[in-house]
Structure 1
């Protein structure tokens, strides 16, 4: 099997830190593994306390420096506690990746007010307050920092209710605008922020998609397969690396070609 991260030196994130939300499964978990394998000190955050403790212990066995902090990103006070933990336990905060999200696939007339509130509380509001807390700390970090927000190809071409619905797509479109807006405000201040647009990815987040639909999705992608969590983690490593020092306020498409279908 190809080592997705072989391009990156094993110590390329040595002496650097990263906080990752949504780190108990899927893309967030794989991103935690990827950073740990490259020498980073990793703060794994998730609302799934059992999954968080299990997987953080698993990664810790490799010798990595891992912290596990239970966080509900739909609760601003919970986000604050996570960053307070970083202030108390890390020498500085270099990278933040906002993987925490929920995906929903409801038809237009099945979506009510509570549904939109729930989706946006996690996907958009949670992302904003995580970015806000990260930027506050990175602005006083002499090394600056990097923020990567996970958006979606659905934020560009819409949902539709089969894989993702209107509420989800709108929250991810909001995330893309958030990244552009924050990038404008932080210009010249040594803090980079970028977005990642994953395409259809075979991960626990897409457990609502049955196998036959996954096969149809893969067949319709130019690359002829769905994405994997390690595809996304590799793109995140790049965006946080020194190789991406001139990438700013951008949205990187890691979508198997879904954007130009």
Structure 2
């Protein structure tokens, strides 16, 4: 198979949660640039419509849907709408996520539950709903967006968000277990663990501890625009057809140091 064919997503449908801004929008655009139709979800209608316009302006067919991934009924309705409007779900990118910064000893349990509900439970619910369709169709690819916080501890001076770290660790374990359970159906499940990127969610951390983060990173810098979409495209495409159950750190070498 020619290398261009390996990465060609023509005729495929990719569903990206948390796709209205930041890294999620970048991933959706990357899949669309490779020929896929994309469906994006977000909780905020305003951001969602702006993202939809940006994607369509690039000549990419896009379906935008509001969805709270922590709510089973909304998740099931979202996947059903994608199937009704676009006909299939070939790949799912579980990117929706939130964080709450507080010392572990004082973090409100309600905020802990909120973070776990969106990040970990939401990842499971979307995987369950889309995975059922992929099993029925004979295959597919699920990419769970984890974090280096799920692979390593972080000094509180850099990032003090124990619920976020726990949720990303849960996503990594979920990835490995689903990969083993669903391999027999042709469904591949992998995770991407980004390091520190300049996004709306991380801007406070980068502003406060950017110099320290750069010192922790062998490449000596924060992640930049475009440095994740190629990774996600690789994992959703035929180029990674023999890869499942893996966690790919995109972190400038941070977890290797």
Task: State whether TM-score is above 0.5.
Answer: yes
RMSD of the TM alignment (CA)? 1.8
Choose the corresponding residue for 2:19, options 12, 20, 23.
Answer: 23
Contact 1:98 1:150 in 2 (8 A): yes
Separation in 2 of the partners of 1:44 and 1:151? 18
What are the superposed Cα offsets for residues 74-128 of structure 1, whole Å, 9 maximum, x if unpaired? 2121111111101211221100000101123211222121011010011100000
2:38 corresponds in structure 1 to 42
Shift of 1:218: 1.7
Shift of 1:11: 7.6
What are the superposed Cα offsets for residues 216-255 of structure 1, whole Å, 9 maximum, x if unpaired? 3123310111113521221111111111111111111111
Choose the corresponding residue for 2:84, options 65, 83, 88.
Answer: 88
Q: Which consecutive unaligned segments of at least 5 residues does structure 1 have?
A: 1-6
In the alignment, does 2:148 pair up with 1:153?
Answer: yes
Q: Which consecutive unaligned segments of at least 5 residues does structure 2 have?
A: none
Q: How does 1:97-116 map to 2 (within 5 A)?
A: 97-116=93-112
TM-score if structure 1 supplies the norm length? 0.92
Shift of 1:8: 6.3
Separation in 1 of the partners of 2:7 and 2:29? 14
Q: List 4+ stretches of structure 1 deviating above 3 A.
A: 7-11, 159-162
Contact 1:27 1:203 in 2 (8 A): yes
Query: SS of the counterpart of 2:226?
Result: helix
In the alignment, does 2:65 pair up with 1:69?
Answer: yes
Deviates more, 1:198-207 or 1:41-50: 198-207
In the alignment, does 2:135 pair up with 1:139?
Answer: yes
Contact 2:7 2:239 in 1 (8 A): no
In the alignment, does 2:9 pair up with 1:13?
Answer: yes
Q: How does 1:102-251 map to 2 (within 5 A)?
A: 102-142=98-138, 144-161=139-156, 162-211=158-207, 213-251=209-247
Contact 1:176 1:251 in 2 (8 A): yes
Query: SS of the counterpart of 2:205?
Result: coil
Separation in 2 of the partners of 1:213 and 1:190? 42
Aligned residues: 254
Shift of 1:164: 4.4
Separation in 2 of the partners of 1:156 and 1:165? 14
